[in-house]
Amino acid sequence: MRRAAESPEAERNPSGPPLCRPPRIGVGALLWLALPSAAFTVLTNGYRIVDQYFVQGVSVAAQAAVSASVFVLILFYAAFELVAAGAGPLIARATGAGDLERRRRLLGQSLSAVLVQSALLMAIGVAAAPAIAVALGLSGAPAAECSRYLTALFATILPLALTPLIDQTFLAMGNARAPLVLHALSLALNVALTPILIYEAGLGVVGAALASNAARGVASALGIWQLSRDLGLRSAHLWAHGELRRILRIGAPMALGTALFAGVYWGLLKTTVSPLGAHVNAALGIGFSALEGFTWPLFHGIALASASLVGRALGAQRPDLAQRVLRTAFPVSTVLGIAATAAFYFGAVPLTGLFTDDDAVHRAAAEYAVILAASQLFLAWESLCEGVLAGAGATRVVFWCSAPLNLLRIPLAWVLAFPLGWGPAGVWWAINLTTYGKAALKGWMAWRGRWLRLDL
């Protein structure tokens, strides 16, 4: 991993402040960041795929519990995004402006905030795990397994909390290789530990949770060490003042949007998915965690790369370069969206069959893949526009383009599934229809270009 001192951003003007170095913009520069970003996003979501794969040998109840837990974890992830999503654009602008001391202050205050968050969420999560399982609409064995899984995850939550901030910091400085290496190490450890703790140690779903956070713990420790060394971070930066309010102001809309997204799926589980049966719960987990766990990271990789380039370009006072990012990335996102559409549609049966031996679960998951194929291109465009807007710090725009349509999914899915009699297909089509709307709104806001003039 390259030290920050070797990067162009670290060069200083001998007669004054650090030199501003705008990023190069082009397909090559975009892919240089996007490919490792996509790869480490796949690896980031890999723990869900690993858990989903290995728990199938425990029971259908365990698989349904892990599937339902995904959206609880996304809800708690929103708390970590409050800091990470706010720090990312600010660190990117500080990098583009060559203000290295401000980068240290931003990271130090962010780390302090995450430590406080982790302690609070650990206590809340452990105490509320049984109630959360019931609130998801689970009962009996699935509820018991869900409670055990969540309790173990929340009791060891610190590595999960640190991961988004570490990723955002590296990316904001234009370094996508470091998080890729860290997530590769984490996933390798997770794959090795999960079957041992689930089966050899006899811990079941608890073993899956402990394996995930133990593997993340190793990677997070290495990531903090690398950032501290590269940035010259000192303990005094943890107690610095003046940046936290700005971090939280920018991060709050993204965190609220993520929390709302998770809450919507929670509502879907309670009102529609769980009443349709445990097999539909498991199918949603396979489709969301396994299938989209591979395709969405590709879109997100382009978004992360675009956000980094936009933030550094604006920090260097080059809005023309920031605008070029959107034009450069759009064709790449389009190609990826078409490829994902083909993979979902033509690979529905064989791909979903890798994650279940249950016929009912397999049929529902394959239906999910075929129907969701119709929205993959729009999801790719939505993700790109969100990355550009978030990289500029226009996080409120992202929130208002997403929140109303995400909320609409709950009543729309129920109407399509029950009164209209579409069953599970109604849930999948509710997701599609609202994705079309979000892509249109975010695309319009990105095209208008007001984010180019946003002052952070």
Span 379-408, pLDDT tens digits: 999 999 999 999 999 999 999 999 999 999
Q: What pLDDT score was predicted for residue 45?
A: 67
Taking the CA atoms of 377, 379, 380 and 385 in sequence, report the sign of the dihedral they define. Answer: positive
Give bridge partners of residue 12 from the DSSP assignment.
18
For the chain, the helix, strand and coil percentages under 3-state DSSP, each to the nearest 5 = 85, 0, 15
d(CA 403, CA 259): 10
In a domain, 4, yes or no: no
Q: What pLDDT score was predicted for residue 6?
A: 35
- pTM, whole model, 2 decimals? 0.78
Q: What pLDDT score was predicted for residue 13?
A: 37
Listed in sequence order, the residues at least 6 apart from 301 whose beta carbon sits closer than 8 Å to its beta carbon are 34, 35, 36, 37, 38, 39, 41
Domain extent, residue 214, equals 23-453
In a domain, 57, yes or no: yes
In a domain, 16, yes or no: no
d(CA 135, CA 270): 7
- Work out how many domains the chain is built from and give that number: 1
What is the average pLDDT score of the chain? 86
In a domain, 357, yes or no: yes
In a domain, 5, yes or no: no
d(CA 126, CA 124): 6
In a domain, 15, yes or no: no
In a domain, 390, yes or no: yes
In a domain, 147, yes or no: yes
Listed in sequence order, the residues at least 6 apart from 335 whose beta carbon sits closer than 8 Å to its beta carbon are none
Q: What pLDDT score was predicted for residue 352?
A: 85
Q: What pLDDT score was predicted for residue 16?
A: 35
Task: Tell me the pLDDT of the chain (456 aa) as tens digits.
Answer: 443 333 334 444 333 334 456 777 888 888 888 888 887 777 776 677 787 778 777 777 777 778 777 777 777 788 888 999 999 999 999 998 888 899 999 999 999 999 998 999 899 989 999 998 888 778 888 888 889 889 999 999 999 899 999 999 999 998 888 998 998 999 899 999 999 998 888 888 889 889 989 999 999 999 999 999 988 888 888 887 778 889 999 999 999 998 888 788 878 888 999 889 888 888 887 887 778 877 888 898 899 899 989 998 998 889 999 999 999 999 999 999 999 999 999 988 888 888 777 888 888 889 999 999 999 999 999 999 999 999 999 999 999 999 999 999 999 999 999 999 999 999 999 999 999 999 999 999 999 989 998 887
